[in-house]
């Protein structure tokens, strides 16, 4: 379990007590991680669960200590025989939302933060975005989780719980979170580990600032610890590529092909038999060609006649002249 300094002892993880039921469809990025047949020290198996938040189509953000081996050591792999992620189902007795199998795990080396990879893309659900800026004390955040609603109980809730909290301390990898509403002792309980604390950004999108890590037995007043997200966001993005929804690329459209203009009907039936103007030399029309030919014939005739006249001799006053 990650403590206030980044690494720490084995304190239990906690979820929401004195919270309230989340409405169907309110937080579709909510995730319950169900681990079946976890190995135990000394032999045997047990079942367990954690909470989390979808951060893109294939990855879930949760707490690092949700994936521990039989010796209690955090590991970068699924430990249970089967780990199932239920996404976007506020009422676990219903059939809304989607399910996928966890096939891989990545662990932060500095914070109690882990990433769980799903075996398929989750579509039609808008994921959380990652906070990139330093959180401020006094900021109001919201938490969701599927843990116990009382520290003395043993069964987790069948309905997603939510409550509001205030950031009370900001360390390098850990945030302090204190209950604000519905009550001052609204607090995380076991199995809400990894549940996202989030705010709304300027666009109205949900942005995760921390995930449940640990704290006192619930319910209680005072601070719980959460894994801070902005200081590990670069590491997260290096694994998942990008957070939030995948942009939809509009299919490329082929350029429109202009339709050839329909031929205009001829003014006279015989006109269709005439050659087009651009089929004649230099763009001349047929009447012009005929006219030019006649002019050429006349010119040749006149030239020949003139030469014949020059060849004749004429006599005038006894002198001979050549015309």
**pLDDT for position 17:** 94
Report H helices in 121-198.
none
Report the mean per-residue pLDDT for the chain. 80
pLDDT at res. 44: 92
Backbone angles phi and psi of 302, in degrees to 5: -65, -35
Q: For residue 157, which of 173, 145, 175 has the smallest C-alpha distance? A: 145
From 149-163, 204-218, 228-242, 245-259, the region with the lowest mean pLDDT: 245-259
- Kind plus residue range of the DSSP H or E element containing 143: strand 140-145
Percentage of the chain modeled with pLDDT above 90 = 64
125-134, 195-204, 273-282: the lowest-pLDDT one: 273-282
Residue indicated by tokens 């006219």:
291
User: Which structure tokens are listed for 13?
Assistant: 């993880």
What distance in Å separates the CA atoms of residue 112 and residue 4, rounded to the nearest whole number? 10
CA distance 244 to 117: 15
Whose tokens are 């909510």? That residue is 30
- Prediction pTM value: 0.73
Structure confidence at residue 42 (pLDDT): 87
What confidence category does residue 260 fall into, taking pLDDT thresholds of 50, 70 and 90?
very low
Cα–Cα distance, 168 to 177 (Å, whole number): 6
Mean pLDDT along residues 143-161: 89
Alpha-helix residue ranges (DSSP H) falling in the chain: 233-240, 286-310
Nearest to 112 by CA among 212, 26, 233: 212
What pairing do the DSSP bridges indicate for beta strands 206-214 and 129-130? Answer: parallel
Mean pLDDT computed over 182-206: 95
Domain 20-240, what fold?
A: Thrombin, subunit H (2.40.10)
Stronger pLDDT, 91 or 262, i.e. the higher one: 91
Q: What is the mean pLDDT of residues 231-236?
A: 98
Which is more confidently placed, 151 or 269? 151
Cα 317 to its chain centre, rounded Å, is 116
Sign, Cα dihedral of 153, 194, 110, 116: positive
Which residues on neighbouring strands pair with residue 282, listed in sequence order?
A: none
Delimit the domains of the chain by residue range.
20-240, 275-322
pLDDT band at 266 (very low <50, low <70, confident <90, very high): very low
pLDDT-derived band at 5 (thresholds 50, 70, 90) equals very low
Please state, in angstroms and rounded to a whole number, the distance separating the CA atoms of residues 158 and 314: 136
Between 80-84, 114-118, 244-248, 257-261, the lowest mean confidence (pLDDT) is in: 257-261
pLDDT the model gives residue 276: 34
Q: What CA–CA distance (Å, rounded) separates 208 from 196?
A: 6
Judged by average pLDDT, the poorest of 140-144, 212-216, 290-294 is 290-294
- How many helices (H) and strands (E) are present in the chain, helices listed first? 2, 16
Is 64 in a helix, a strand, or coil?
helix
Is 66 a residue whose pLDDT tops 70? yes
Question: What's the pLDDT at 282?
Answer: 27
């Amino acid at each position: 379990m990650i403590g206030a300094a980044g690494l720490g002892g084995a304190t239990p993880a906690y979820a929401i007590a004195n919270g309230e039921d989340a409405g169907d469809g309110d937080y579709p990025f909510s995730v319950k991680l169900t681990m079946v047949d976890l190995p135990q020290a000394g032999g045997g198996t047990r079942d367990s669960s954690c909470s989390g938040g979808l951060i893109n189509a294939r990855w879930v953000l949760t707490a690092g200590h949700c994936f521990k081996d039989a010796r209690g050591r955090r590991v970068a792999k699924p430990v249970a025989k089967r780990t199932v992620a239920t996404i976007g189902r506020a009422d676990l007795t219903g059939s809304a939302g989607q399910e996928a199998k966890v096939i891989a795990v990545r662990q932060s080396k500095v914070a109690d933060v882990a990433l769980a990879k799903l075996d398929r893309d989750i579509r039609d659900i808008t994921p959380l975005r990652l906070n990139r800026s330093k959180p401020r004390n006094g900021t109001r955040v919201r938490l969701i989780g599927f843990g116990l609603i009382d520290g003395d109980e043993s069964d987790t809730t069948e309905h997603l719980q939510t409550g509001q909290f205030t950031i009370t301390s900001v360390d390098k990898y850990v945030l302090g979170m204190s209950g604000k509403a519905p009550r001052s002792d609204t607090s995380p309980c076991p199995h809400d580990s990894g549940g996202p604390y989030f705010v709304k950004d300027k666009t109205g999108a949900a942005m995760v600032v921390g995930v449940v890590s640990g704290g006192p037995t619930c319910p209680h007043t005072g601070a719980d610890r959460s894994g801070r997200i902005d200081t590990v966001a670069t590491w997260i993005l290096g694994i998942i590529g990008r957070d939030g929804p995948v942009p939809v690329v509009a299919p490329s459209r082929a350029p429109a092909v202009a339709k050839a203009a329909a031929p205009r009907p001829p003014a006279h039936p015989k006109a269709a038999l005439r050659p087009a103007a651009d089929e004649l030399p230099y763009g001349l029309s047929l009447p012009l060609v005929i006219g030019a030919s006649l002019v050429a014939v006349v010119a040749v005739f006149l030239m020949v006649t003139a030469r014949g006249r020059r060849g004749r001799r004429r006599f005038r006053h006894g002198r001979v002249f050549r015309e």
